[in-house]
Amino acid sequence: MFYLAEVEDHVRVEPRHFGLPTHESIEKQLNESYVDSVSKDLGYVISVVSVEDVGDGVIIPGDGAAYYKSRFKVLVWKPELHELVYGTIAEIASFGAFMDMGVMQGMIHISQTMEDYVSATKSGTLSGKSTKRSLGKGDNCVAKIVAISYKSGEPKIGLTMRQPGLGKVEWVDEDRRKKEKSSKQVDKKEKKGGKK
pLDDT tens track for 107-129: 999 999 999 999 999 899 999 99
| Shared domain check, 158 and 110 | yes
- pLDDT tens digits, 121-162: 989 999 999 999 999 999 999 999 999 998 877 789 999 999
β-sheet bridge partners, residue 70:
9, 54
The enclosing domain of 109 has a CATH number of 2.40.50.140
| Shared domain check, 61 and 125 | no
Examine the pLDDT at 190 and tell me if it is beyond 80.
no
pLDDT of residue 138: 96
| Shared domain check, 110 and 165 | yes
DSSP 21: -
Amino acid, single-letter form, for residue 77: W
Number of domains, the chain:
2
Q: What is the mean pLDDT of the chain?
A: 91
Please state, in angstroms and as integers, the Cα–Cα distance from residue 68 to each residue in 16, 35, 49, 58, 59, following that order.
15, 18, 18, 7, 9
Indicate whether 165 belongs to any domain: yes
DSSP 176: H
The enclosing domain of 18 has a CATH number of 3.30.1490.120
pLDDT of residue 195: 57
Examine the pLDDT at 174 and tell me if it is beyond 70.
yes
Which residue range(s) make up the domain with 37? 2-77
Indicate whether 178 belongs to any domain: no
Indicate whether 183 belongs to any domain: no
pLDDT of residue 39: 85
Given a contact cutoff of 8 angstroms between Cβ atoms, the answer to whether 87 and 136 are in contact is: no
Q: How far is CA 7 from the centre of its chain?
A: 21
Which has the closest alpha carbon to 44: 93, 114, 101, 111?
A: 101
Please state, in angstroms and as integers, the Cα–Cα distance from residue 33 to each residue in 11, 42, 91, 105, 181, following that order.
9, 14, 30, 22, 54
Burial tier of 114 (Cβ tally within 10 Å: 0-12, 13-18, 19+): buried
- pLDDT tens digits, 45-61: 999 999 999 999 898 88
